[in-house]
Amino acid sequence: MSGPIADWTKGSEAIVYQTCNGCGARQYFRRSFCAPCGSPDLAEHRASGAGTVYATSLVCRAATPETRAHVPYNIVLVDADEGFRMMAHGDNDLAIGDKVSARFTQFAGRLVPYFAKAK
Amino acid sequence: MSFVTGVGLTSYGKHDGLSSLDLMSKAAELAITDAGLKRSDIDGILCGYSTVSPHIMLATVFAEHFGIRPSYAHAVQVGGATGLAMTMLAHHLVDAGVAKHVLVVGGENRLTGQSRDASIQALAQVGHPDYEVTLGPTIPAYYGLVATRYMHEYGLTQEDLAEFAVLMRKHALTHPGAQFHDPITVADVMASKPVAMPLKLLDCCPVSDGGAACVISREPTGEQRVRVRGCAQAHTHQHVTAAPALSELGAEISIAKAKAASGIAIPDVRYAAVYDSFTITLAMLLEDLGLAGRGEAAARVRAGYFNRDGEMPLNTHGGLLSYGHCGVGGAMAHLVETHLQMTGRADNRQVRDASVALLHGDGGVLSSHVSMFLERVR
Q: Is the pLDDT of residue A2 over 60?
A: no
Note whether A25 contacts B: Cβ–Cβ < 8 A: no
Residues A42 and A54 in one domain: no
Residues A30 and A82 in one domain: no
pLDDT in tens, B242-273: 999 999 999 999 999 999 999 999 999 999 99
pLDDT band at B116 (very low <50, low <70, confident <90, very high): confident
Q: Who contacts B174 (Cβ-Cβ below 8 Å, separation ≥6)?
A: B308, B316, B348, B349
Residues A62 and A106 in one domain: yes
In a domain, B171, yes or no: no
State whether ipTM is beyond 0.90.
yes
In a domain, A2, yes or no: no
pLDDT in tens, B2-14: 999 999 999 999 9
pLDDT in tens, B156-212: 999 999 999 999 999 999 999 999 999 999 999 999 999 999 999 999 999 999 999
Residue B239 carries which DSSP code?
Answer: S
pLDDT band at A23 (very low <50, low <70, confident <90, very high): very high
Residue B320 carries which DSSP code?
Answer: I
In a domain, B95, yes or no: yes
Beta-carbon separation of B196 and A107 below 8 A: no
Of the candidates B230, B222, B212, the one whose C-alpha atom is nearest the C-alpha of residue B92 is B230
How far the first Cα of chain B sits from its last, in Å, is: 15
pLDDT in tens, B55-69: 999 999 999 999 999
Q: For chain B, what is the domain count?
A: 1
Note whether A55 contacts B: Cβ–Cβ < 8 A: yes
In a domain, A32, yes or no: yes
Residues A58 and A101 in one domain: yes
Strand order in the sheet with A26-27: A26-27, A16-20, A42-46
Taking CB atoms and an 8 Å cutoff, what residues of chain B touch A108?
Answer: 136
Q: What is the mean pLDDT of residues A48-74?
A: 95
Residues A85 and A106 in one domain: yes
Q: Who contacts A77 (Cβ-Cβ below 8 Å, separation ≥6)?
A: A53, A54, A55, A56, A85, A86, A87, B145, B149, B240, B241
Taking CB atoms and an 8 Å cutoff, what residues of chain B touch A69?
Answer: none
In a domain, A72, yes or no: yes
CATH number at residue B59: 3.40.47.10
Note whether B363 contacts A: Cβ–Cβ < 8 A: no
Give the CA-trace dihedral at B355, B25, B46, B6, to 10 degrees: -20
- Model pTM? 0.97
Beta strands B271-274 and B356-363: pairing type? parallel
In a domain, A3, yes or no: no
Of the candidates A5, A30, A10, A29, the one whose C-alpha atom is nearest the C-alpha of residue A112 is A10
Residues A58 and A110 in one domain: yes
User: What is residue B119's predicted lDDT score, i.e. its pLDDT?
Assistant: 86
Residues A56 and A113 in one domain: yes
Note whether B76 contacts A: Cβ–Cβ < 8 A: no
What residue numbers bound the domain in which A100 lies?
50-117
Q: For chain A, what is the domain count?
A: 2
User: What is residue A1's predicted lDDT score, i.e. its pLDDT?
Assistant: 47
Note whether A32 contacts B: Cβ–Cβ < 8 A: no
- Strands, E assignment, chain B: 3-9, 44-47, 72-75, 101-109, 194-196, 199-200, 209-217, 226-235, 271-274, 356-363, 368-376
Among B134, B137, B147, whose Cβ lies nearest the Cβ of A59? B137
